[in-house]
């Protein structure tokens, strides 16, 4: 029996981060391995916890802070499944970053002395583990204020500082976009907090479980609405999506995959905080959310098609893809909610693959403009495979887990549509047709980047080849995990059903 297993999972990355910071000049290049190793350790802890939960246990650890505020942690089938995949994405991108950050420092800060280089390099890996802390905190929190705290932690520490210091543009633009990201994050969380406070005025508690006592109270509509607006800005739901292309384009690619997690995790929050305790009151929001999600799905796809920047392309795809999970969750059937949450996990894996591969392209070619690419499969076959895996995953093609997620999710939506209001059936048909758009833009991107003749500049550049193994291997492994979950989805769905099956 491992003591304080959940606390370890949440805190170990932060402790590793502080350790890296304190020993920054000594650890140097090893910082990446320390961060990655710590995250591997927490992944192992998560798997142990998952095994216990699989056998019917619910892990609950109490860490009181004040009477109404606590950092109690709860791991059930829902949170553990979400946490494992999010942590896995962190592990993969930690190892991927080892080479990538080196490259970013070289591009941004030029040829610096060893001490300065170590300072910058370790700074990244000091900030990076806070992603894991934030994600795990959100997954396991039982207290709304604690959840809010972790949401803000994510926005401020890793997102803002990493983007501001390791972003792509010049100094001013970099800070400008980082500031934009910070304010969008803070604004969303603030509106969410207003909902929390409004709920508190009626329940007298910040516990998520206590929200169910609000059911039937007229104020609940306002609580849900405020929280939803807050979450929509995180989820980049139209028209609150405008920050996403900027921020994704600016981020160093090695954490862009985590930005997708940062945005999409709001779906989990929606289920945990709103749908599970306030299922009946949430029904009135179901169709409007589905309509908004449908608009965002199509809008994001069209926006993705219009992009020539490989990073913005992935960003717009994120806008579209997140809405898939939103539409599933909003349909409020057991199939659609489980499918929507599973889709969230599949999407973050797929997006981790796609973004990281975009990073490999930028890393090796120095080019971000898709129009200047083409024919790269000949020189970068493994990168082409990675991108194709990402495209397949996003398009919901078997054997990737996204296929199963989409199938289960759409089963729920069609169930709701055929036995419920006709408008839901129309939304369901339009939404499933929108999957065709995803296939169109992802496979078109493969053609534009990897097929056809190569431009003379790229053809004559002998340095263009597949990136170092430490960059592509974690990405391929993430793809393999996605395939394994596609072949054996019970690993996740059985866990989800432990929680959701009894309520929905």
Partner 1 sequence: MMLVPVEVAWLCFLFPFAGALLSPVLARIHPGLRDYGALFFSFLGALCSLMLVPYLFHLDKLPLESAFVWLTVPIELNVGVLVDPLSIVMANVVAVISFVIMVYSLGYMKGDPCLTRWWMWMNLFIGSMLLLVLSNNLLFLFIGWKLVGLCSWGLIGFYYKDERKYWIGGPPPTKYTVPSHCGLKAMVVTSMGDVLMLGGILIMYAYAGTLNILELYETSAVWLPEMAKSSGLILLMTSMLLMGPIGKSAQFPLHEWLPEAMAGPGPVSALIHAATMVKSGVYMVARLLPIFFYGYWVSGCIEASYFFIIIAWVGAITAFVAATQGMTALELKKALAFSTVSQIGYMMLALGVAGLTISSLEGGFTSGIFHLFNHAMFKACLFLCAGSVIHTAHSIYMNDMGAIKKFMPFTWIFMLIAALSLMGVPPFPGFWSKDAILASCLATNNYPLFALALVTVVITAFYTTRFFGMTFHGRASKNMEKLKKKGAHLGEVHITMVVACGALAILIFIFGLVGLSLEHFFGHGFEHTLIEKLHLPLEHAAHAMSPWLVPLLSVASVVIGIVPAYLLYFSGRLDPKSIVERYAVMRMLHKFFWNRWYIDSFYFMFFVGGVTKLYTFVPKYIESPLDKFFHKIIPSIPGRLYGSGRDVLASRYGQEVVTEAPAERQPVVGISLGYALLLVLLCIALYLVAMLIRGWLIGP
- Subset of 90-149 contacting partner 1 (CB under 8 A): 145
CA distance 472 to 390: 13
**Interacting residue with partner 1 among 32, 414, 458, 464 (CB under 8 A):** 414
**Interacting residue with partner 1 among 419, 421, 423, 457 (CB under 8 A):** 419
Identify which range of 283-291, 363-371, 405-413, 467-475 contacts partner 1 by CB under 8 A.
Answer: 405-413
**Interacting residue with partner 1 among 59, 186, 225, 481 (CB under 8 A):** 186
Q: How far is CA 33 from CA 36, 129, 413, in A?
A: 5, 12, 43
Residue ranges in 11-40 that form contacts with partner 1 under rule CB under 8 A? none
Residue ranges in 187-216 that form contacts with partner 1 under rule CB under 8 A? 187, 190, 193-194, 197, 200
**Interacting residue with partner 1 among 239, 288, 366, 421 (CB under 8 A):** 239
Sort strands 59-61 and 73-75 into parallel, antiparallel or unpaired: antiparallel
Cβ contacts of residue 175 below 8 Å, gap of 6+?
164
**Interacting residue with partner 1 among 453, 457, 465, 480 (CB under 8 A):** 453
State in angstroms the smallest separation of the CB of 490 from partner 1: 6
Q: Which two tokens stand for residue 158?
A: 């890793």
Residue ranges in 270-309 that form contacts with partner 1 under rule CB under 8 A? 299, 302-303, 305-306
CA distance 333 to 339: 10
> Does 335 help bind partner 1 (rule: CB under 8 A)?
yes
Of residues 371 and 419, the one with the C-beta less far from partner 1: 419
Total Cβ atoms within 10 A of residue 267: 29
Cβ contacts of residue 164 below 8 Å, gap of 6+?
174, 175, 178, 179
State in angstroms the smallest separation of the CB of 394 from partner 1: 13
CA distance 367 to 151: 33
> What backbone phi and psi angles, to 5 degrees, belong to 216?
90, -20
State in angstroms the smallest separation of the CB of 260 from partner 1: 19
Closest by Cα among 197, 163, 258, 310 to 478: 258
Query: Could you tell me where the DSSP H helices lie in 28-170?
Result: 31-54, 77-109, 114-127, 129-140, 144-154, 161-166
Residue ranges in 368-397 that form contacts with partner 1 under rule CB under 8 A? 375, 377-378, 392, 395, 397
State in angstroms the smallest separation of the CB of 109 from partner 1: 21
**Interacting residue with partner 1 among 116, 169, 215, 418 (CB under 8 A):** 418
Give the contact letters, 143-182, x = binds to partner 1 (CB under 8 A), - = no: --x--------------------------x--xx--xx-x
CA distance 429 to 435: 10
> Does 429 help bind partner 1 (rule: CB under 8 A)?
yes
């Amino acid at each position: 029996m491992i003591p304080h297993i959940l606390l370890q999972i949440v805190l170990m990355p932060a402790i590793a981060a502080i350790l890296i910071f304190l020993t920054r000049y000594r650890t140097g290049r090893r910082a990446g391995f320390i961060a990655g190793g710590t995250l591997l350790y927490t992944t192992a802890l998560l798997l142990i916890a998952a095994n216990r939960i699989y056998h019917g246990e619910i892990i609950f650890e109490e860490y009181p802070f004040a009477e109404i505020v606590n950092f109690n942690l709860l791991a059930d089938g829902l949170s553990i499944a979400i946490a494992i995949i999010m942590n896995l994405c962190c592990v993969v991108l930690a190892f991927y970053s080892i080479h990538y950050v080196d490259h970013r420092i070289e591009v941004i800060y030029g040829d610096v002395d060893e001490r300065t280089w170590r300072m910058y390099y370790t700074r990244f890996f000091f900030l990076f583990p806070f992603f894991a802390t934030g994600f795990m905190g959100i997954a396991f929190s039982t207290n709304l204020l604690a959840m809010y705290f972790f949401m803000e932690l994510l926005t401020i520490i890793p997102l803002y500082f990493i983007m501001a210091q390791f972003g792509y543009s010049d100094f001013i633009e970099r800070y400008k976009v980082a500031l934009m990201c910070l304010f969008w994050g803070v604004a969303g969380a603030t509106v969410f907090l207003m909902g929390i406070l409004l709920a508190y005025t009626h329940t007298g508690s910040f516990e998520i479980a206590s929200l169910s006592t609000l059911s039937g109270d007229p104020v609940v509509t306002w609580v849900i609405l405020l929280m939803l607006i807050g979450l929509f800005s995180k989820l980049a739901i139209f028209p609150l999506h405008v920050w996403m292309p900027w921020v994704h384009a600016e981020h160093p690619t090695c954490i862009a995959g985590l930005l997708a997690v940062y945005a999409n995790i709001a779906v989990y929050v929606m289920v945990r905080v709103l749908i599970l305790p306030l299922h009946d009151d949430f029904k009135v929001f179901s169709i409007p959310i589905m309509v908004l999600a449908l608009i965002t799905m199509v809008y994001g796809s069209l926006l993705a098609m219009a992009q020539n920047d490989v990073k913005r392309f992935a960003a717009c795809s994120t806008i579209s893809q997140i809405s898939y999970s939103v539409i599933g969750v909003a349909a409020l059937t057991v199939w659609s909610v489980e499918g929507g949450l599973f889709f969230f996990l599949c999407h973050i894996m797929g997006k981790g693959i796609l973004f990281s591969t975009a990073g490999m392209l930028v890393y090796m070619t120095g080019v971000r403009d898709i129009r200047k690419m083409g024919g790269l499969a000949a020189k970068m076959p493994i990168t082409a495979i990675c991108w194709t895996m990402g495209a397949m995953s996003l398009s919901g093609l078997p054997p990737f887990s996204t296929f199963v997620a989409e199938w289960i999710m759409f089963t729920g939506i069609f169930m709701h549509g055929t036995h419920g209001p006709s408008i839901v059936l129309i939304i369901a048909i339009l939404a499933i047709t929108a999957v065709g758009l995803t296939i169109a833009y992802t496979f078109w991107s493969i053609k534009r980047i990897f097929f056809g003749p190569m431009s003379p500049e790229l053809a004559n550049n002998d340095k263009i080849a597949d990136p170092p193994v430490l960059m592509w291997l974690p990405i391929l492994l993430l793809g393999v995990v996605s395939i394994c979950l596609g072949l054996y989805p019970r690993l996740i769905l059985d866990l989800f059903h432990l929680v959701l099956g009894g309520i929905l």
